[in-house]
Amino acid sequence: MRPARTALILFCCLSGCRERPPESAEEPVEAATPPAMDAGPAPPVESAAAPVTLGAWPDAGDEALIAHLSTARIHGARILSRRSMGLRVALEGDPDAVFKPRRREEDTARHEVAFYRLARLLGTGIVPVSTIRRVFPVHLDDALRRDDPAAADAFLEAVHRDPSGMVEFAVIEWLTDLGPAPFDGTRGVDRLVALLALTGPRPDEDPLVAPASEMVVLDYLAGNWDRFTGGNLFTDADGRRLILIDNNASFDRWSEGQRQRMEDLLGSVERFSRSQVERLRLLDGDTIESVMGEAEGDESRPLLNRMEIERLLERRDELLEHIDGLAAGHGLERVLSLP
């Protein structure tokens, strides 16, 4: 790790309107045959108190909502952003949903679902429920044309269709009554670092301490560099729980600038969730591959490919190296002081 440096709009964040930076597209192509899957991380510096297990997939509490998002009749749709072609879709029954299509020039919508599943593996409930759904464009076309005929033409031109003519979407529950999170921008990141310092407030003094630490770990593990640029982070209505949305910038290869940014933030964080870290130690290639290996019955389209999983495992090891180094210097109880 390099040395650390100190350092809403609901419309935009749910539409995924930011594009990938050009530098990401210029990265060299990776070898077609990657190294064998990592068997698992090194043992912890000290043994943890009570053992935990990885979160179950599918999560029993989310099953009904996943079924609704996957099958509910579509009553209407409108385009949220012509750049991303994200849609707000009215479904029969509640809630509505955001539909993010697989596009001809960009195949990152699946990363929304992969991020959600990874969060559930780590026992982290701060990511909206997401799933994959395939839809014939005719089911959306009439609704889009009623709202904006030109946008409907642009949508049909931009999306990728499979051999049967269907379009694949990441379908994400539509959330309401969200509040602003205090961590956007440089000043917000400074507040985050102070919150997660060894001298920061206890969870009973500030309810965002534990979810903020879980967010840093989850974003680093997933490679999500685009959290604090605005519109990707909210709280629930009472401000006691973080909500992470617009997560499709995850799982790509980092540019040098993105890596530096992520390593700087991780290097500044000193307190972590004991249960989340123990689940992090349990992650291995087979588990991740089994959860991400197929996109809702389509074995030819995994949510994460093999190289994306390899990079995830590398970042897991970097996380544990940082946490174990802190524990060696400050004591495990102080570093893993969050539940």
- What pLDDT score was predicted for residue 61? 84
Run of H or E including 91:
strand 87-91
Q: How many CB atoms lie within 10 A of CB 105?
A: 9
Tens of each residue's pLDDT in the chain, 339 residues? 544 433 333 333 333 433 333 343 333 334 334 444 444 544 454 444 557 889 877 778 899 999 999 999 999 999 988 888 899 999 999 999 999 999 998 889 999 999 999 999 999 989 999 999 999 988 888 889 887 888 899 999 999 999 999 999 999 999 999 999 999 888 999 999 999 999 999 999 999 999 999 999 999 999 999 999 888 999 998 899 999 999 999 999 999 999 999 999 999 999 999 999 999 999 999 999 999 976 554 546 789 999 999 999 999 999 999 999 999 999 999 999 999
Instruction: Look at residue 230 and give its three-state secondary structure.
Output: coil
- Measured CA to CA, the distance from residue 122 to residue 316 in angstroms comes to 12
Q: How far apart are CA 315 and CA 21, in angstroms?
A: 21
pTM over 0.95, yes/no? no
Instruction: Report pLDDT for 3.
Output: 41
Residue with tokens 């989340």: 276
pLDDT of residue 112: 96
Cα(308)–Cα(292) distance, rounded to whole angstroms? 10
Predicted local distance difference test score (pLDDT) of residue 179: 92
Give the whole-angstrom CA distance, residue 248 versus residue 227: 11
For residue 286, the model assigns a pLDDT of 93
**Mode of pairing for the β-strands spanning 97-101 and 233-235:** unpaired
* Residue 244 CB neighbours (<10 A): 25
